[in-house]
Structure 1
Amino acid sequence: MTYDMNGKRVLVTHADRFMGPACAEEFSKNGAEILADASDLKSDEDCQRLIEGAGLIDVLIVNLAAPNLYGTLVTELDEPAWQETFSLLVHPLHGLVRHTLPEMIARRKGKIIVFGSATPLRPMGRLAAYSAARGAQISYVKSVGVEVARHNVQVNLIAQNWVENPAYYPPDLQANPKFQKNLKEQVPIGRLAKPEEDVALALFLASDQSDFFVGQAIPFAGGWAS
């Protein structure tokens, strides 16, 4: 299914990482004007500068990448790693949203879509920092989504896992028999999702057909989490 994005200005953050490349490609195919930004967004000033420089934004895609630190025991999770995870995933989310909303509220129209994670929806050990930061994203989106709904601005999150991505699932890992066995056992659908399947949900959330979706964290994980 395609969605008419003609005339829509779509800002994609971390456009060279995580879901950025697939998002830019698929939205462009549907007619959107893509504003692709690959900066790190380590401070509120970075976020403000990006939003102000972008001009009018119809759709903000908050795509923030960070290492998941999988396998790190909580007793070995040092302060710099903990702080860095929140600096990459949580603080920029607020900065981007805070500086984008005033113009959307004034126009009474806008979409903000966050590419998050399903990890907080299903307890996993040795993943404390990443789970906590991604969980904070979910709580933030739920609160802000309800707050701005009356202005006809929709804020939602895709809580994803098991989506093809060279950073999380490189080819050598996918070829590993142990990974293939784990995939079959853990994910009811028994495979990884294609990036374009994930972005199809983002396209829907960016479309005028999704106006009744408010502050949702929608699992996209092949049945692994709900």
Structure 2
Amino acid sequence: MSDNSPQGPLAGKRILVTQADAFMGPVLCDVLREQGATVIASHDDITDPETPQRIVSEAGPIDTLVANLAVPAPSTRVGDVSEDEWCDTFAALVDPLPRFIQALLPGMRDQGHGRVLVMGSASALRGMKRASTYSAARGAQMAWVQAVGVELAPENIQVNLIAQNFVDNPTYFPPEIQENPKFQDRLKREVPLGRLVGAREDAQFAAYLCSDASSCFVGQVFPVCGGWVNR
């Protein structure tokens, strides 16, 4: 009799992916499934304060939350940043995090383990002009992950973040940008790797951070940006 049970390093894991139709969502879902996970792909708008609790309640037991959070990055000069821009960016990138962890904690504590992986941005690790709102929100994600990671580690709940930039994805680097010769010149000038990090390269690293093999990481920020932060 053949064994049709899932195989791979994530076999038996139930992983919730937010904004699964945007940013890194589609490739994350594909790679996580390939590695044996049961993926709960949420397409809900999570800026509503009640939505994270509803998503978690409907999903059932969750081993890992992959907080795939993205918005088009504002490029407003700092003196022109509006109250709406600031609040809307934080509402999309930061506010859902404590709501999700509060919804997930009872179940993770009952099962004795859990993981949260935030798909963040390296824009908080290196200054960028006309990016004050976006960089501030991405930096808040990092600070939250570091603090919560340290707090929850004794309960066998790992919280970490991938700080990415220059990773192939349709939200920030759609085909029309990638095909622009000026962008290709920028890649060669700013990114030591000389190219975008592949979407699957990034997703495979995310899958590793969702696996039992990564249980030693606590509140850590992992740059995935082709060396951009080192320039």
Specify the TM-score bucket, using the shorter chain as the normaliser: over 0.9
Structure 2 equivalent of residue 30 of structure 1: 35
Match of 1:110 among 101, 110, 114: 114
Structure-1 separation of matches of 2:8 and 2:226? 23
| Superposition deviation, residue 3 in structure 1 | 4.8
Structure-1 separation of matches of 2:53 and 2:146? 22
Kept in 2: contact 1:3–1:203 (CA 8 A):
no
Give the TM-score taking structure 1 as reference length: 0.96
| Segments of 4+ moved more than 3 angstroms | none
Map 1:3-42 onto structure 2 (within 5 A): 3-42=8-47
Map 1:69-80 onto structure 2 (within 5 A): 69-70=74-75, 72-80=76-84
Q: What is the one-letter code of the residue matched to 1:64?
A: L
**Aligned: 1:180 with 2:179:** no
Kept in 1: contact 2:145–2:219 (CA 8 A):
yes
**Residues 176-224 of structure 1: CA deviation (Å, up to 9, x unaligned):** 1111111001000100011110011111111111111000011011111
Structure 2 equivalent of residue 140 of structure 1: 144
Kindly, what percent of the aligned residue pairs are identical? 48
Q: What is the one-letter code of the residue matched to 1:86?
A: F
Give the TM-score taking structure 2 as reference length: 0.94
**Aligned: 1:61 with 2:32:** no
**Residues 109-128 of structure 1: CA deviation (Å, up to 9, x unaligned):** 11111100000100111011
Structure-2 separation of matches of 1:142 and 1:44? 23
Kept in 2: contact 1:118–1:225 (CA 8 A):
yes
SS in structure 1 of the partner of residue 62 of structure 2:
coil
Kept in 1: contact 2:23–2:69 (CA 8 A):
yes
Kept in 1: contact 2:18–2:69 (CA 8 A):
yes
SS in structure 1 of the partner of residue 36 of structure 2:
coil
**Residues 61-87 of structure 1: CA deviation (Å, up to 9, x unaligned):** 0001111112x1011211111110000
Structure 2 equivalent of residue 156 of structure 1: 160
Structure 1 equivalent of residue 201 of structure 2: 197
Structure-2 separation of matches of 1:44 and 1:151? 26
Kept in 1: contact 2:119–2:161 (CA 8 A):
yes
SS in structure 1 of the partner of residue 160 of structure 2:
strand
**Residues 28-83 of structure 1: CA deviation (Å, up to 9, x unaligned):** 1111111000111113311111111111001110001111112x101121111111
Structure 2 equivalent of residue 222 of structure 1: 226
| Superposition deviation, residue 168 in structure 1 | 1.0
Structure-2 separation of matches of 1:116 and 1:97? 16
Q: What is the one-letter code of the residue matched to 2:159?
A: V
**Aligned: 1:212 with 2:227:** no
Q: What is the one-letter code of the residue matched to 1:189?
A: L
Structure 2 equivalent of residue 124 of structure 1: 128
Kept in 1: contact 2:22–2:170 (CA 8 A):
no
Structure-2 separation of matches of 1:17 and 1:97? 21
Structure 1: which 5+ residue stretches go unaligned?
none
Say what the alpha-carbon RMSD is for the aligned residues.
1.2
Structure-1 separation of matches of 2:12 and 2:162? 24
